[in-house]
Amino acid sequence: MKKFAAVLAVVFLSGAVFCPAVFGQEMTGEDIVKELKALKARINKLEQKLSTKDREIEGLKAKVENVPEAAASAQEEKKWTDRIELSGAVEVEYGSEKHRVKDPITGKATSTRDEDITLSTVELHTDAQINKYIKGHVVFLYEEDEDEDRVRIDEGTIRLGGIEETHSLYFQAGKYYPHFGELNSWFVSDPLTCQVFEIQESAVEAGYNGEWVSAGAGLFHGDIQKTGDDESRVKGFLVDVNIHNPEDTLGDVSVLAGVSYLGNIADTDTLQDEVNQMRDYVAGVALYVVAEYNNFGFGAEYITALDDFHAGEMGYAVDRNGNAAETRPAAWNLELAYRPMDPLQLAVKYEGTKDLFGLFPEKQYGFAVSYDLFESTTISAEYLHGDYDDNNRNSDGNVEDSRDAVTVQLAVEF
């Protein structure tokens, strides 16, 4: 277009030269030659400028054409980064335990005390949103008392669905902690319900996560098989159903209540280490409720085997005379928490076990205090006193009488 305008200008000027009458003046041949030379020089300059502009335009076009590709690449990279979420915790603890035991024959009591400072927990959670329907989840865990200076993969799961497009239905597979009981606590130490009945397995699970109701059922191999059973078969199973109110539906009240069923309670992490042999599978059930209102929190849970293990099947079930006994293990926990001000939380508990002999206290109570020093940084302290059943022996052959435990923890979450 610019070149066309330049040509028009030349034609116009030529007309002005060769039609001097139109412009009201006379020109000689010498004047015409001078004008033509000047005109030619101007045209050459215009052509040079046009060439320069053309090159600039072509450069701008190339840049514009490359922008979408570069932007798309940057956007894709950003999207992949956004799919990954990292979180975790670091916990350092001071612990002191005093045990009082009695000689089963003489009745003489002696006391022992253990204390230590440990890096109790280092935990890193990695969550990846693979696409709209699939999530990956990996937990790396280190516990100083358990792992002997090595990091282990504590959880690794693939989860499909659980969103509106799948009608809140989900499928999950991998290694994780199936939901047998809520195992809730506001204390530093795990409640007795967790210490006795927590379970970790490689499993598959299908379920429904609705606004008011959640339900799931899972299958796993299980480490404990009854005598004569085929160890290569997948026979462990678990079912959990709970109700929970969505936020703001009951004012300031939040409630979670449910029931869990486990096909073989000997598969729980603590009990499986005590099994000598099993003639029959013993199922278990957990009942739980957790409620919060304003600054108050309340939790109650009861977990029990539904039948007896025969004498000799559980290594811990030995009475004070050294005889193997039947056992139907159970544990319960009641807790109340109160936050008088935003950074401070107080909690009390009363918990206990049944038919666990010298393994855990029969009755235990205590209190805990937590204070948020900074954002995501908390210091906590707790005291627990436990009394054991007199009719038992521990692994050392003595009768457990009582224990007192103090724990102070500094924790950071990120």
- Give the least confident one: 63-67, 147-151, 199-203, 224-228: 63-67
CA proximity to 372, closest of 407, 336, 412, 414 = 412
Q: Mean of the pLDDT values across residues 177-198?
A: 97
What's the pLDDT score for residue 25?
Answer: 52
The DSSP symbol for 357 reads T
What's the pLDDT score for residue 56?
Answer: 73
Q: Read off the pLDDT of residues 306-322 as tens digits, 9 standing for 90 and up.
A: 999 999 999 999 887 88
The answer to whether residue 302 scores a pLDDT higher than 90 is: yes
Q: Which two tokens stand for residue 354?
A: 């049944």
Compute the mean pLDDT over every residue in the chain, rounded to the nearest whole number: 87
The answer to whether residue 219 scores a pLDDT higher than 60 is: yes
What does residue 322 show for φ and ψ, rounded to 5 degrees? 85, 10
- Give the least confident one: 292-296, 322-326, 370-374: 322-326
What's the pLDDT score for residue 89?
Answer: 97
Q: What pLDDT band is residue 172 in, cutting at 50, 70 and 90?
A: very high
What pTM, to 2 d.p., does this model score? 0.79
Q: Read off the pLDDT of residues 38-78 as tens digits, 9 standing for 90 and up.
A: 777 777 777 777 777 777 777 766 665 655 555 555 555 55
DSSP assignment string, 152-190: EEEEEEEEEE-SGGGTTEEEEEEEE---SS----SSSSP
CA proximity to 99, closest of 411, 408, 403, 370 = 403
* Residue 265, CA atoms < 13 Å, CB-side half-sphere: 25
Tokens 């927590």 belong to residue? 198
The residues near 247 (Cβ < 8 Å, ≥ 6 apart) are: 254
Distance CA 265, CA 285 (A): 8
Q: Which two tokens stand for residue 257?
A: 């209540």
Distance CA 308, CA 196 (A): 16
Q: Mean of the pLDDT values across residues 262-290?
A: 95
Residues 333, 347 contacting (CB under 8 angstroms): no
What's the pLDDT score for residue 9?
Answer: 45
> What is the separation of C-alpha 157 from the centre of its chain, rounded to a whole number of angstroms?
11
> What is the separation of C-alpha 387 from the centre of its chain, rounded to a whole number of angstroms?
35
What's the pLDDT score for residue 145?
Answer: 80
Distance CA 100, CA 390 (A): 12
What's the pLDDT score for residue 233?
Answer: 82
